[in-house]
């Protein structure tokens, strides 16, 4: 753990506590920083110890290493973070893994590696957080437009995110008595590190061009653009919004 720094008490989340699961890079990190800038006390989890340490040193955000694929690790992390924060007002479930394979090439190991994080891990992390969530709080989950688009090669990732969409809707219903809203943000092609890992500069540029070409707005989104949608759904501005799947995708699904 790192020394916990408290942000100034201003903004939409002044006095609130926020936990971001998968907050050490990309959309999760952008959201964690934005929550802190708006007054929240923020903690993050992630599985990369080096990036967690870097984020903690640069921002003062509380950072705990926990792999979403390990139910026990996230249960322990959430218990620890909730104790440190004295409960949780906002839970942002962002951790996930990807990968493409046509149906004939999908192996059991590949299926399990994606679903153990994106669906099983996310569900049990939320379950572990529920006793620590304050009534009237908010859960936001990162989905994917892939859950509703029939993209060849995306069957494993898409099915996990589609399952997570069902989880979000049922959670939103079951948590009504506690006034905890549950919503999902589904990004379109977004310029994060996930599509750059292990790729050469030329390959990254080719992929960026390819992905930009499928977006009606002819560009990829940024982590900050997705984070703004996350903060909106988590805030009191969205007090009458519950159970939605908000596509932040430059028009990919609707246009």
CATH number at residue 171: 3.40.50.720
Q: Which residue has the tokens 């994917």?
A: 144
- 45-58 pLDDT, tens digit each: 999 999 999 999 99
1 pLDDT higher than 60: no
* DSSP H/E element including 210: helix 201-213
- Residue 61: give the domain boundaries: 17-247
How confident is the model at residue 201, as a pLDDT? 75
- 236-252 pLDDT, tens digit each: 999 999 999 999 999 99
Q: How confident is the model at residue 208 (pLDDT cuts 50, 70, 90)?
A: confident
User: 157, 226, 242, 248: which one is catalytic?
Assistant: 157
- Flag whether 3 is in a domain: no
Mean pLDDT across the chain: 93
Neighbours of 118 (CB within 10 A): 26
- Flag whether 144 is in a domain: yes
- Flag whether 45 is in a domain: yes
Task: Determine the average pLDDT of the residues in 12-25.
Answer: 97
- Flag whether 10 is in a domain: no
193 pLDDT higher than 90: no
Residues ≥6 apart with Cβ < 8 Å to 246: 183, 184, 185, 186, 229, 233
Phi, psi (degrees; rounded to nearest 5) at 42 = -120, 140
Of the candidates 92, 90, 110, the one whose C-alpha atom is nearest the C-alpha of residue 102 is: 110
Neighbours of 147 (CB within 10 A): 22
How confident is the model at residue 198, as a pLDDT? 59
Most confident of 145-154, 197-206, 222-231: 222-231
Give the residues across from 64 on adjacent strands. 45
Of the candidates 19, 96, 98, 33, the one whose C-alpha atom is nearest the C-alpha of residue 64 is: 19
Asked which of 42-56, 121-135, 196-210, 223-237 is least confident by mean pLDDT, the reply is: 196-210
197 pLDDT higher than 70: no
- 157-190 pLDDT, tens digit each: 999 999 999 999 999 999 999 999 999 999 999 9
Q: Which whole-number Å values give the CA distances from 37 to 12, 31, 41, 89, 223, in the listed order?
A: 10, 10, 10, 16, 16
Q: Are 166 and 207 in contact (CB under 8 A)?
A: no
Neighbours of 246 (CB within 10 A): 19
Half-sphere exposure of 144 (CA within 13 A, CB side): 25
> pTM value?
0.93
90 is catalytic: no
* DSSP H/E element including 255: none
- Percent of the chain exceeding pLDDT 70 equals 93
Q: Cα angle vertex 20, ends 212, 55, to 5°?
A: 80
Q: How confident is the model at residue 5 (pLDDT cuts 50, 70, 90)?
A: very low
- Flag whether 77 is in a domain: yes
8 pLDDT higher than 70: no
Task: Determine the average pLDDT of the residues in 213-229.
Answer: 96
Q: Report how many domains make up the chain.
A: 1
Q: Which residue has the tokens 């020394």?
A: 3
- Flag whether 6 is in a domain: no
- Flag whether 255 is in a domain: no
How confident is the model at residue 6, as a pLDDT? 46
Residues 246, 255, 214, 151: what is their CA dihedral angle, to the nearest 10 degrees?
A: 70
- With b meaning 16 or more CB within 10 Å and e meaning fewer, what string describes 29-46? bbbbbbbbbbbbbbbbbb
Asked which of 100-114, 120-134, 160-174, 190-204 is least confident by mean pLDDT, the reply is: 190-204
Q: Which whole-number Å values give the CA distances from 105 to 9, 33, 114, 192, in the listed order?
A: 52, 39, 15, 26
Q: How confident is the model at residue 9 (pLDDT cuts 50, 70, 90)?
A: low
Question: Is residue 140 classed as helix, strand or coil in its secondary structure?
Answer: strand
3 pLDDT higher than 80: no
Residues ≥6 apart with Cβ < 8 Å to 132: 78, 79, 82, 87, 88
- Flag whether 252 is in a domain: no
């Amino acid at each position: 753990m790192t020394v916990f720094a408290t942000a100034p008490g201003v903004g939409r989340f002044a006095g609130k506590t926020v936990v971001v699961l998968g907050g050490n890079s990309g959309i999760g990190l952008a959201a964690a920083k934005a929550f802190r800038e708006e007054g929240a006390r923020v903690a993050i989890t992630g599985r990369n110890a080096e990036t967690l340490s870097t984020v903690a040193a640069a921002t003062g955000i509380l950072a705990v290493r926990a792999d979403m694929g390990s139910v026990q690790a996230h249960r322990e992390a959430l218990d620890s973070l909730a104790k440190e924060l004295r409960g949780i007002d906002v839970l942002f479930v962002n951790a996930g893994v990807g990968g493409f394979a046509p149906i004939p090439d999908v192996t059991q190991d590949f299926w399990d590696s994606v679903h153990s994080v994106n669906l099983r891990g996310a569900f049990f992390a939320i379950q572990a957080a529920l006793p620590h969530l304050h009534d009237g709080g908010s859960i936001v989950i990162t989905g994917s437009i892939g859950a509703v688009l029939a993209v060849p090669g995306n069957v494993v990732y898409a099915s996990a995110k589609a399952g997570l969409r069902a989880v979000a809707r049922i959670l939103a219903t079951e948590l009504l008595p506690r006034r905890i809203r549950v919503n999902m943000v589904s990004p379109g092609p977004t310029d994060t590190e996930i599509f750059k890992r292990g790729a050469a500069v030329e390959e990254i540029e080719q992929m960026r061009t390819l992905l930009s070409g499928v977006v009606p707005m002819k560009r990829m989104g940024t982590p900050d653009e997705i984070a703004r949608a996350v903060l909106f759904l988590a805030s009191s501005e969205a007090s009458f919004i519950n159970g939605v799947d908000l596509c932040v995708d430059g028009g990919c699904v609707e246009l």
